[in-house]
Structure 1
């Protein structure tokens, strides 16, 4: 499935804490991936799927690959807006387009794409995304493949 134009993009708000920064008070680069992870988790939760519930159903989402571009630094106490837009749903994976912006001035700080694979919790082998989850993403602005 591919995303439809004009679909609402999920946004998660968070704040930069001291633990997120380096000695200069600038967000350490890997922490942008943590902010993105939180936004993806909250996106699932907003659709009615908690990670803990999914794990109990022998389902985990694991990061397969990440592409990130760093544009400007976030600093201590900045409030961030982190998007999690599903742009593709495949049989056993989801592709997210994500951005991290500073809330104060809407400056783009980091952007990227994350491919997450659906796997069995016990074996870590790929498994199909459950139909209920596929339907939830379809209701959030995705169209069937090929459209």
Structure 2
């Protein structure tokens, strides 16, 4: 099973770096969010629309492994895929790769729970079965 990987490119901005021109470590978590947002957008659905349907995806856990630094003006690719899904939880996995040399810079995961606006857990398979099915298909490697 090969999950569908969504890629999104961005260029490292000066404001994302420290005095040495190296990306400050917390910015990778922001890039994970960019990858996740663009992944959802690939379903012709935005986070805003998901929230308007009464579905929130609060973060419960995050892990990150730094391999090599990204630097100012590097073009990087954020590769995002569904690592695990149940009707109540969703885990995304990420790779951040420098485009110029295909060097793997960072890997990580974020775990989320499906909740309503009151942050009570919900079963996405019941609340939004079409969204759940799409995410499950992405995990399984289909469109």
Query: TM-score normalized by structure 1?
Result: 0.88
The more displaced of 106-115 and 130-139 is: 130-139
Return the alpha-carbon distance in structure 2 between the equivalents of residues 38 and 45 of structure 1: 10
> What's the RMSD between the two structures over aligned residues?
1.4
Q: How does 1:1-147 map to 2 (within 5 A)?
A: 5-121=1-117, 123-129=118-124, 130-142=128-140
Deviation at 1:120, TM superposition (A): 1.1
* Structure 2: stretches of 5+ with no match in the other structure: none
Aligned-pair CA distance for 1:141: 4.5
**Number of residue-to-residue matches in the alignment:** 138
- What TM-score do the two structures reach when normalised by structure 2? 0.90
Higher fraction of strand: 1
